[in-house]
Each structure stands twice: as structure tokens, then as C-alpha cells.
Amino acid sequence: MRCIDLLSTNVLLQALSRTGLGLRQGEGGAGDPARTASAAAAAVTAIVVWLYLSWLLARRSGVGGRRALTADLPSYLPFLALAGYAHPAVRGNPAVALWLLCAGTVLSALIKARTLVRFGKRWPAPDAASLRWAIWPILGLGLLLRLSLIRANRFVGDEALFSHWGLLIASGKDIALNSEIVDKPPVFFYTLAVFFRLFGPSEAVARLPNILASTGGIAVVYAAARRLYGLHTALLAALLLALSPFDIQSAPTAFTDPLMVVLASLSCLLALEGHSLGAGLAMGMAAMTKQTAVFAMPLLAMALVAAPSRRRSLPRAVLALGAGLVLALLPCVYWDRVIRASWPSFVEVGSAHYGEFDLLPWGSFLPRLGAWLSEARLLTASPALSGLLLGGVPLLVGVGLWQRRRSPEWRYDWGLAGYVIWYLLAHSAVSFQLWSRYLLALVPVAEVLLARVLLLPARLLAKEGRLAALRPTFAILMPVLLAATVAGPARVALSYGYPIGGDNGTYLGIDEVAAYFRQNVPAGSVVFHHWLGWHYSYYMFGYPYEFQYFPDYQHLIDMARRIPERGRYLTFPSFAPRQEVESALCGAGFQLRELHRVHRPDGTVSFTICRIEPRSGDSCAVREGRAPAEQGPPPPGRSADRPGGEGARGGVVAAAAMSLASG
């Protein structure tokens, strides 16, 4: 791009965001210290930006410093409209401040574009060396955004179960997981165990591998896009991925998907670089992190064929790739079929969990495709960017086909677009669960395609000599477009505002439940569970209790009758049918004594801890200290990832595994 470089764009956007923050501070008067400091910071930042951009204009275009200052100064005049916020009729209204800021930004960008067009003939293109360094602040930004959510919420069931397996390995209690029914390959669990041994067990440490992997994935996408399309597309794709709400919310989790996706992406990059053996090793590690890595094989095949500088013939490259796959798979197969020979294979148990991966009838295909497309809107989380992607990709592949003799890049565009279509069709045709995190593998591909679409006007203008003077205008308007379409979704993602990734508040307070048991419940007590068994396995790891799963109410009653002399406890999450359990126990001669309630920050109840006691009198529910109170409504959860998955998945997996073992 022949325009301001990424640093000046970044500084400009920071200045605008700080100005908006200052305007949206509290309602204090002019003497409010926070508001005064914010206004002072905005003024100083604006002056620094003006001086820096003027210096950049002078250095790049060859004009004098004073002339550059004078030429750039009018572009800041539209921000004087912010003074209208002081009018009594609109003071204290953040929406007005935001509109004034947006209007000032657009007008300022147009004036800057005019200035750049004026000096366009003297504006040299920045060399690659001056832009290559920009990947480092992008990586730093991506890491910072992901780290900011490392303690944002509690584990959902799958995360707690995976972390429990990591704890078993790290503690040495069960290094081979011979006491567990495992439905996933082992790479992620042993990765967790290494981190637990190095840094100690905690939620933050369990999320750290995926955060580091996600940040590394930005570098992988940058390197792959640079190999295929060049530096500008690579930098923009990396920036879009760093700011992707889908990736930001998926990274700070203890799911297997983020690590699997990065390993699969690394495999494609190594194939592009001509390292077929390494590509096979990386893809094998991805498959041994999660079986669904097989859906990345078409992308790996395209990368293998598209390698610009392959140092060996295609047959030899395929053989090397296969050798790498075998080297990665053999240790995992040995662990699964030799060390854990007494248990069914994780492939069999996984099939029992996910289903048999059967092809669905045609009548189910279209509704499932519609459901996946509905989930796919979260790939950008921006209606504007989604529309740009849907409308721009056909234009991109059409222009590429039209100009196919000038550049080979059109093949890569067709390949990536075709892969996205194939991925959605394959997931619609097979009996997969409709969970949004399964689309994480499409995020890097979508961001590369989006970067190509955004830079398409610049490519077309470069080939038209009469329109070349408009390139600076396009270059100054594109950061404004990105700020308007990317910043909002990224901000929402930083508050976990999308149904992506980990818990959205359903399990807030589960750590307080564990603390209550540790401090108030005697050793040897029985803790019944139907919804929280996987959470107990992590949050109460090593606690001296007997944990008993009950599949139905009659089973709970029978177990309660067998152990009358011991403490019997039952915790209800907010989504559990407490009244049904209470009614069943009451009819069997028991009552629930409510011991403790755990509340979310908004005041709603997340968990209720009860003790099962023999029924006394007419009441079936007793709350210590106060009369029984109604339970608060359940919080909005992620229906796609089922808040109470233990009963559904746990029962199916356990039954299937025991059946396989006995058979």
C-alpha cells in the first residue's frame, strides 16, 4: 500500500479510542479528575498524532516540515464538532458523543485522503523491510486480548473433565488414565499435565496452552498468507485474526479445538514451505489432539500441491507426508491400544459420544445447513464484514478467473473458498453436533479471504494508471472501515458477549461451591451429582468425599437409603429441576435442607447446596436460618453446548464404553 504505514494507523486509532473514552466517562463536572485527565490525554495524543503524521508526510513526499504541518492540520478541524457535546441538551448522552466522534473521524479521513492525493505523485511505496516488523505489534495485540480473558469465567463440563485428566497425569495418580473412560486422543491432556507441573494447577494455567497456541496461529496465518499472496495481505489477515471475536473467545478455554486448529494450520504452512515430513508430523499431532482434524486434510492436500518451491516431486512429498503422519500416530496408538488395553479405544468411545458419523437423509440436510450457516455468522460477528465476505468472495474469484494469466493467486482464492463451502456441506451431511466451536477451523481461512477482499480495490487500482492517484484515498479509508466494523465486535468479545468458547455465566460460583465443601463438609461424606460430576472432578480434585452419580431420582433415593449414617449432599445448579428432585425425595421420606446459596455478580442464584435428611414434619424443604425461598431464574446459557451436558454425554459414553468393554 502506498500510504501511511501500520504504525501511523495504529496511533491514529488509539487516539480516536482514547478521545471516545474520555467523552464517555462519568457524569461528573468539569472538575472531575478522571474526566479532566481523559481530556488532557486526548489532547496530548491528538497533538502527537498530528506531529507524527506530518513528519511522515514530509519524509515520504519530500515536502518541507512546515508545509507538511500546514497541510495536515485541516484534517483535525472536524473534531471541533465534539465541542457540541458540552451543550446542555446533549450533555451526558454517550450516543451523541459517539455519533459526533464517528462524524469527525469520517470527515477527517476524507480531508486526509485529499491531502494524500495532492502529494500522491511524490509518495513512494514503503519497502518490505519497513513493514515486515509490523507483525510483532499485531502478535502482541493478539496475545494481550486473549490473556485479558484468562480468568473471565469458570469451566464448562468438558473443560473441567479435560483438566481433571491433566491433573491425574500431572499428580502421578494415573499417568496413563487407566481409571478413566477417555473419548479424545491424548495430546491435549498431556500438554495440560506439563503446564500443571511447571506452573501449578489452576484455571488460568489450563487455558494458557490454547492462548499461546492461538497467538502462534496468528503468526502461522501470517507466514502462510505471505507465501501465497504477499506481505500486505499477510499483515491484514494477521490483524483480522488477532481481532477476531471468534478466536478471542475460543482461545482462553480448555477445549481441544484451539490447539488442534493451530497444529493443522502449521501442517499446511510446512507443506507450503516444502517440508512434507514436518507437515505430516504436525497433522498427526493435530489428529491426536482431536479427531476432527481429518476435516483439514483437503486444505493440507491443496497446500501440498500449491507449494511454490517444492524441493521434491509430488509422489515423494506424499510419501514424506505419510511417514510424518505415521510417526505422530504410532505413540498415540500404542498408548490407546496397548497401555490402556483394558478400556475401549477413544475412537469407539468418541463415536458413541458424537454418534456414528452417519450420512443424514436429505430431509435433514437443508435444516442442518441452515443451522450451520446461522452459526457461521459468528465467524466475523459483524453484519458489515459478513456481507462484505459473502459478496466479495464471488467477486474475488471472478476477478481472479478473469485475470488468471497475470497472476497464479486466483487458484489459491478458489481453493480457500471451495474449502469453506466443502467444510460446511460436510458438517451438514454428517451427524455432527451443532456446536459453534467446530467452526473454529474456518476462522483463519475466512480472515485470509476477507483480507483479499479488502485489498481487491487496491489491486485493481494498481493496474489502472488513470486511477492510481486514488490509492492513497483508499488506503486512508480502509482503516476507518476496519475501525468501524472490527473494533465493536472485538470489544463485545472482551466481555464474552458472544455464544462462543467457554462458559457465559452459567457456572459462575462453582469455585465457591468447592470452597464451601472444603470448609464445612466433613471428610467421608457422600456428594451426589447429576449435573456437576465433571466439575467436581476438577474443582474438588483430591477432596476426601465419595462422589456418587445418579442417573434418575429412584437411583438417588436407593443410594440415600443405603447410607443413612453418613452426610449426604446435593448441589443444584440454576438450570436443574430442583422441585422435581425435592418432590421425589419427599415421597420417599426425605427432605432437603438448604445450606448455602451462591450468587452471581448480578444477584441471581447460580448454585444451591443442600443436605439430604430424613423427613421431619410436613415440610420437605428446610433452609437454615430462613424460610425456603424461590430459586432465581436460570441465566442465559449456550444452548449449543448444553449447560448440563454431564447427564447427556456422560451417561451415553459410560454406557457405550461399558458395553464395548464387556463385548
pLDDT of residue 661: 39
Residue 13 has pLDDT above 50, yes or no: no
Percent of the chain with pLDDT over 90: 52
CB neighbour class for 180 (10 Å; exposed up to 12, middle 13-18, buried from 19): middle
Work out the pLDDT band at 619, boundaries 50, 70, 90.
low
Mean residue pLDDT of the chain comes to 81
Tally Cβ neighbours within 10 Å of residue 1: 22
The amino acid that residue 58 corresponds to is A
- Cβ contact 178:342 at 8 Å: yes
What does the block give as the cell for 291? 479427531
pLDDT of residue 202: 95
Measured in whole angstroms, how far is the alpha carbon of residue 200 from the centre of its chain? 24
Residue 222 has pLDDT above 80, yes or no: yes
pLDDT in tens, 426-449: 999 987 788 889 999 999 999 999
Work out the pLDDT band at 1, boundaries 50, 70, 90.
very low
pLDDT of residue 626: 41
**Distance between CA 219 and CA 224 in Å, rounded?**
9
pLDDT in tens, 44-78: 766 777 777 777 777 666 677 777 777 777 877 77
Q: How far is CA 91 from CA 41, 87, 95, 530, in A?
A: 20, 6, 10, 53
pLDDT of residue 634: 37
Residue 209 has pLDDT above 50, yes or no: yes
Residue 636 has pLDDT above 90, yes or no: no
What are the residue ranges spanned by the domains of the chain? 6-126, 135-463, 510-662
What does the block give as the cell for 331? 505413540
CB-side exposure of 138: number of CA atoms within 13 Å?
27
Highest mean pLDDT, choosing among 260-269, 465-474, 615-624 = 260-269
Residue 341 has pLDDT above 50, yes or no: yes
Residue 355 has pLDDT above 70, yes or no: no
Provide the whole-model pTM. 0.78
**Distance between CA 101 and CA 119 in Å, rounded?**
27
Percent of the chain with pLDDT over 70: 75
Residue 648 has pLDDT above 50, yes or no: no
Measured in whole angstroms, how far is the alpha carbon of residue 620 from the centre of its chain? 44
Work out the pLDDT band at 656, boundaries 50, 70, 90.
very low
Work out the pLDDT band at 128, boundaries 50, 70, 90.
low
Residue range 293-298: mean pLDDT, rounded:
95
CB neighbour class for 8 (10 Å; exposed up to 12, middle 13-18, buried from 19): middle
Residue 301 has pLDDT above 70, yes or no: yes
Residue 93 has pLDDT above 70, yes or no: no
